[in-house]
Structure 1
Amino acid sequence: MHLSTIVVSEYEVRQRVTDLGLANFIVQPFNIDEAIMTAQVFSVMHAARTVDDERDAVKDDAKLLGQCVVGGITHFATDDAPCARRLSAARKQGLIAGLPHPISLHEPFFEGWFSTDNQGDFFKGS
């Protein structure tokens, strides 16, 4: 699993990031390529926000998603349901190739997240 240095800076405000067991993650630095892609992602994500979505939250999400696009990261797990909703809306628009599939931690696990075209089996065990 990838861990963005952007997330590290947010996490460290309340808890030491070293508590996470960093050996289990691939740490992703935020570089110029991601910064350039972030500008494109922000414009799409900003357009997909609702009146309840804060601009700063969208801006921070765009940084992480810019990293995903540049790094070829295919899935994005988040506890932020509005972020998952905005990401789904942005993917449906198809304006940016390579946006990751959102995984909301508020939803039950779905094996289809990790299969071709994010499709699951209709019937289990058949």
Structure 2
Amino acid sequence: MNPKIISGSSFKDGRGELNFNNLFKATEIKRIYTIQNVNTSFIRRWQGHKIEQRWFTVVTGSFRIELIRIDDWELPSTNLKREVFEISDKQLDVLYIPSGFISSIQAMEENSKLLVMSDYFLNEIEDNYKYDSNYFKD
């Protein structure tokens, strides 16, 4: 399975704005949390999961998300293909990240906030992999 955007939409009228996503199925979600980077220069990279799936949606602002599929988790190649996604709070898009990917998360606007959803509870499994921020070549 590959990462993909599950498209949301928005509706405006005299009462205000409604953002929605009628295609996103939240039946697998067990845990949610938010990420708010210290500023737009900081890039939170490279962390991921061999088993866990995640879904990202933007609460406030916008984010650039880079994903790398990992096959060898103990010693991955430093030169792997990246997939880049940009998501914002303009509509309720959800970025689906299947198991087997690591991510790089950069806020593109000050005070941006990302909602992360996972299909495992914290410490339910040991599946957290982190690599040095400069490990993978740009």
The TM-score range, normalised by the shorter chain, is: under 0.3
More helix by share: 1
Query: Per residue, is there more strand in 1 or in 2?
Result: 2
TM score, norm. by length of structure 2: 0.24
Q: Which has the higher contact order (CA 8 A, sep 6+)?
A: 2
